[in-house]
Amino acid sequence: MARISKKRPRLKNWKKGLTIFGILEILMGFTLLWLGTKLVDIDYFLPVTTFNLSAFFGLAFVLIAILGGYWIILGFGSTLAQRWSRALGLVSSWLWLIFGIFLMIGAFGDIFFPKSNDTNSHPELYFHFLWIFILVIFIGGICFPLALILFYGNPRVKAVCELENPQKSWTDKCPLPLFPYILTETAFIIFNIIVMPFIHFTILFLGIVFSGFLGALVIGTYSFIKAYFIWGFYRQRIKVWWTALIFYLILIIGTPFFYSSDNRVEYLRDMGFSDSMVNLIQKDHSQDYHYWMIGINLAVILGYFLFVKKYFLIAQPKHGKKIHRHNN
């Protein structure tokens, strides 16, 4: 805090804020770890099926543990006013808020447009649970990430991190709006590495089911492509921007031409689900592929890619220095 005391005395309170929010993130990380341990015992209350529920909830614990560890690391970084911690905390909070908003919309959709099979037995209990769920999402999925966004997005917080750590961090080499893509696709690759071996490398790619060795080959290729896109986004390569955009457009537009309910049944069975569980999922018409999803996916992909295009490299001058559309 010596640098702040000498150069910008008014920033002392913002340094304390970084410590407070860092401690909150650490507590949140340990809370996720605790919740993850509770998943391990859930399979005792569920019926026995051919699908290995113990492995399923064990995998869920691993994924939640990774997420908890991620926030613990960010929390410690925040207490030290690290530049990378503020940047990743801000981006992660935006992703968290967007996810919370979608959960909230889905919960309100279940309230105003309930399914008959959900409300037949105990409708009052069903709606009571939904309102509790909405309250939890509002506090944990809307209010808390919004508070993180307002804090880490404050210019004074950024100034504190820059004064405490004058040397540029690796997050300073890439514009922040590109990190949502980088983080989500990195999470996708980690998910594949951990989960796919336990579901027989089963993947529904372009509406076609692949499993076993062929599935592993498709998943490996898919993950390699995503890793290439992550590298290109971080290095702001305009050729990668075009390649990624075309790749996602092909996936979104091409999937409906090959997708069918039979593909979904084959997909679930190859994963290891029993016939009873497959039939139960089949009764849920929300699992059907709706064409309005194409419009939403196209709007999100095109909107985001067009928004971040200005951050990519557009030229390579003769003297070898890179030119950016927009500096971070």
Q: Tens digit of pLDDT for each residue in 243-283?
A: 999 999 888 887 776 666 666 777 777 777 766 667 766 66
The one-letter amino acid code at 324 reads: H
155 and 282 fall within a common domain: no
132 Cβ partners below 8 Å, 6+ apart?
Answer: none
Q: What is the pLDDT of residue 319?
A: 47
Query: Do 154 and 203 sit in the same domain of this protein?
Result: no
User: pLDDT at position 244, please?
Assistant: 95
According to the model, what pLDDT value does residue 281 have?
63
Of 143, 168, 193, which one is at a domain's C-terminal end?
168
Please indicate, yes or no, whether residues 71 and 178 belong to a single structural domain of this protein.
no
Residue 272 DSSP label: T
* Position 197 pLDDT exceeds 60: yes
Comparing 121 with 174, the larger pLDDT belongs to 174
Q: Report the pLDDT value the prediction gives residue 45, as an integer from 0 to 100.
A: 45
pLDDT confidence tier of residue 203, bands split at 50, 70 and 90: confident
Closest CA relative to residue 91, chosen from 26, 152, 22: 152
Q: What is the pTM of this model?
A: 0.80
Host domain of residue 254: 174-328
Same domain, 190 and 241: yes
Q: How many domains does the chain have?
A: 2
Average the pLDDT over each of 70-79, 180-189, 298-307 and give the range with the smallest value.
Answer: 298-307
Judged against a pLDDT cut of 80, whether residue 93 lies above it is answered with yes
Paired sense of beta strands 323-324 and 208-210, if any: unpaired
**Residue given tokens 């997420």 in the structure block:** 67
Quick one: 190 and 277 in the same domain?
A: yes
> What percent of the chain lies above the pLDDT cut of 90?
38
Separation of alpha carbons 212 and 197, rounded Å: 9
Whether 296 and 209 share a structural domain: yes
Q: In the listed set 168, 186, 202, which residue is the last one of a domain according to the structure? A: 168
235 and 322 Cβ atoms separated by less than 8 Å: no
pLDDT for 182: 96
User: Of the ranges 47-51, 106-110, 114-118, which is most confident?
Assistant: 106-110
pLDDT band at 224 (very low <50, low <70, confident <90, very high): very high
- Which of these three, 168, 198, 220, is where a domain ends? 168
Contacts of range 133-137, beta carbons closer than 8 Å, 24 or more positions apart? 133/107, 134/104, 134/107, 134/108, 137/100, 137/103, 137/104, 137/107
Tell me, what's the pLDDT at 49?
Answer: 46
